Each structure stands twice: as structure tokens, then as C-alpha cells.
Amino acid sequence: MSGAATLSHAGCAEAPVLRERGQREVFCGLTGIIWLHRKIQDAFFLIVGSRTCAHLMQSAAGVMIFAEPRFATAIIEERDLAGLADANEELDRVVGQVLARRPDIRMLFLVGSCPSEVIKLDLSRAARRLDRAHAPAVRVLAYSGSGIETTFTQGEDACLAALVPEMPASAKAPALLVAGVLAEVVEDQMRRLFDALGVGPVGFLPPRRARELPAVGPGTRVLLAQPFLAETARALEARGARHLPAPFPLGAEGTTGWLRAAAEEWGVPQARFREVTAMGEQRARAAIARHRDVLAGRSLFFLPDSQLEIPLARFLARELGMRPIEIGTPYLHRAHLAAELPLLPRDALLSEGQDVDRQLDRCRAARPDLTVCGLGLANPLEAEGLATKWSIELVFTPIQGYDQAGDLAELFARPLVRRAALTV
């Protein structure tokens, strides 16, 4: 189970992929702000959009009602869309108000809820103007979270890609960069493991503080913590960094494979690697095993939403004995998933993109024991008698690493345990 190298022609590495283009049912990239603003502690996200976007973010962030969030919406009115008001002047005023109220802010993102052609405002140009006005105290950057241009997790990718040009240049000495938002507890765990292995220095993108951006250059080796960072990886590679292919750190097997990719690059002896990782891997497997009786043999259907679907399916199939029927993902990046695809069950259907009506027809016909999908589809499917798991919870919850492997398994066991309790 641990030897991915022996499975180069197994699994779904060469499997055909069903590509569908049709009606979509996913959150837009704006929702990434919910976890990004918690990670970069001195950043502020100013959404430039409609009242609909403001209501979406208010609803998505309802769990944080007791804390003052570091994001807001500059609402575009009909006069703005008609070109009757000077939107740039109004934007400058709103940014000034935000920075006056929050003097702790060191980086401000202008996040477009729609393309520039729709909101009649070039946010990239506005960001450059505001950056000149507020530098060096505050850096101002822009990216798109538009549902026309991005899906659910691509907002994080767009944000991190906007940070890459701001990263200082590094010397040629080897350094490891972990790209992708990780909960602070997970980041601390990973840093301790890398330190014990002798891998490093290690930087994380995004950092906890805006002025702590790690350096990047020809000596940088990149481990992706998330599978949806295509633009970020491309931007890092353009600055000389090299991606280390690895499974993603979900479950005991994935975490070990992810750490091994860095250890091999740094020439860590196998005996030392096992000494550092054995206890964590054993602890993870024990925590996972507590949920195997609930999940083993159960069928599973992934509707495309977060781009986490493929590594999650690998974890659930190989470590918990579940049977993925269809693994749908918004976008399948073969290079970034090269270590994952051979580990998937051969009989699973891979689908890329979305035609929600056709996918729902296949899901209803299969009657899976558990369906992983977005919030918009979960309630209707529950009403039809199908147990569901919200994919958004898998982004909000710390799930990477050895110490979170049991929690990850429990997230999938919980809907089935609840359904069993309700039918008694």
C-alpha cells in the first residue's frame, strides 16, 4: 500500500476521463476569503461586487459572527455599472476608510466578484495606484474571485498567484516552499517533521504575516499542500522554483508520501526517514482504523466541487476500504496528480468539469451510500434519501497530516452514523 512506485501502470494513471461541459453548481472563488483571511493575519480582503456577493460572504462566514472579520464588500450600485459615478474615486475613499479603521493591516487585496468588463473597473490598475499611495505601510494587490472565471477553491489559487511577484528573490541554496493554506496547527506539525528530517530551510505560502513572504528562486523546491494551485505553481516555476511530485498529505499514506518527496530531494537516509515518521504514521493508522467498520465496503460518489476529490478518493479507498463509483473534479491537473492517479481503484469513473444534470442522473442511478457535493446539492439529495457530505467542510477543517487523519475519516463516517441513528 505504501509503494506508489510499483503501481506506475495501475489505478487510473492511464484511465480515460469523462469530460463534461454544461450547467455548473459550485461556489465561486470568493469563498476562499473565508479561510485566507484567517491565515494571513494582517491582510484585509475588500470585495468589489454586488449586494448578492455581500450576502453570499455574510452567509458563508456566519460561523465567525463573534469576531470582526478582515474582509468587507464595496458594493457596486446601478450608477456605477452605468458609468455615471467615478468608481475609482469611490474605491479610493473606501480603501482609505478601511485602513484608517484598521491600522494593523499590512496588505490589502482588491477581489473582483465579476470580470472587469462587468463591474466597469480595472482592479489591477486600481491596485497599482493604491499601492503607490499607501506604500510602504500597506501593499495593495488584486485578484479575481469571479464565479464566471473561478470555481470554489480557485480563489485561493488566484490569491497566492498574486503574492508570487511580491516574494523576494532567493540565493541558489536549496530551500523548501510549502504552497497552500494550512491551518496553523498543521503548519507547526509539518515544520517540526521537516526539522527532524533535516529538510530546509522551509517557508510557507501564504505566510502568517504579509511581510514574512518567503524567498523564491532556482534553489526553491515546491511541495503543494493543495491540488488546486495550478496558477500558483506556474508562477513559482516562472521564478525558477521546481515542483516536487508527491501525493497530497491526506491520511497516513498520503502524508508519508508527501514527506518522502522532500526527504528524497534532501538525501535523507531511509532509516532516518522511518525513525522520524514511523510514530506519526502508526498513530494516524490507529485513528483511521476506528472508523473503518462504518466506512469499509460503502460506495462513494464525488460530484465536482473543491478539486480535493482525487486525493480524498485515494484516501477513502485505500485506507478505509470505500468504493468510489465516480470521482468528479472541476479540473484534473495530471502533472500535479501524477502520484495520486495510480493509487485509485481501476473501476472508478473519472470525470472532469460539470454537467450537473447528467451527473445527478448517474448519482441517482448508482444510489451510493455517500455523496460528496456542494451545499446547493446536498439538501435536495438528502430529501431523496441519499446521505451526503458537504465538500466545503473539507476546506474549512484541518485535514492534512498524521494527527488529523482520524478527524478526516470521521468527517465521512459522521453522516452515515447519523443516518443509522435516525433510522433506528
Cβ atoms < 10 Å from Cβ of 46: 23
Model pTM score: 0.91
Range(s) for CATH 3.40.50.1980 in the chain?
Answer: 4-24+288-422, 29-150, 175-286
Instruction: Tell me phi and psi for residue 10, to 5 degrees.
Output: -105, -175
DSSP assignment string, 299-320: EEEEPSSSS-HHHHHHHHHHHH
CB contact at 8 A, 272 and 283: no
C-alpha cell at 312: 480524498
* List of residues 6+ apart from 42 with CB closer than 8 A: 104, 105, 106, 107, 209, 210, 211
Instruction: Tell me phi and psi for residue 115, to 5 degrees.
Output: -60, 160
Distance CA 122, CA 113 (A): 12
Angle at 199 between CA 193 and CA 201, to 5 degrees: 105
Distance CA 244, CA 336 (A): 9
According to CATH, the topology of domain 4-24+288-422 is Rossmann fold (3.40.50)
Distance CA 87, CA 94 (A): 10
What is the CATH class of 29-150? Answer: alpha beta
Distance CA 400, CA 52 (A): 33
Angle between helix 309-320 and 405-422 (nearest 10): 80
C-alpha cell at 373: 457535493
Instruction: Tell me phi and psi for residue 51, to 5 degrees.
Output: -65, -30
pLDDT value for 401: 97
- Give the residue ranges of the chain where pLDDT is below 50: 1-9, 65-66, 81-82, 84
CB contact at 8 A, 317 and 288: no
pLDDT value for 20: 86
CATH for 175-286 (3.40.50.1980, 3.90.226.10, 3.30.390.30, 3.30.70.1350): 3.40.50.1980
Binding-site annotation, residues: 28, 53, 114
Helix (H, G, I), strand (E, B) or coil at 276: helix
pLDDT value for 214: 96
Bond into 136 cis (ω within 30) = yes
Distance CA 398, CA 419 (A): 24
Closest CA to 214 of 224, 223, 203: 203
- Cα dihedral across residues 149, 40, 197, 315: positive or negative: negative
C-alpha cell at 89: 474615486
Cβ atoms < 10 Å from Cβ of 258: 25
pLDDT value for 170: 86
- The per-residue pLDDT for range 70-110, each reduced to its tens digit, is 888 887 765 554 454 567 888 899 999 999 999 999 999 99
For strand 220-224 and strand 202-205, is the pairing parallel, antiparallel, or unpaired? unpaired
* List of residues 6+ apart from 168 with CB closer than 8 A: 213, 215, 216
For 200-348, list the strands marked E by DSSP: 202-205, 220-224, 242-243, 299-302, 323-329
The C-alpha cell 477513502 sits at 316
Distance CA 131, CA 93 (A): 14
Bridge partners of 108?
44, 140
- How many CA atoms lie less than 13 Å away from 83 in the CB half-sphere? 4
Binding-site annotation, residues for [4Fe-4S] cluster: 28, 53, 114
How many whole angstroms from its chain centre is CA 214? 20
349 secondary structure, DSSP code:
E
- Cα dihedral across residues 325, 397, 214, 260: positive or negative: negative
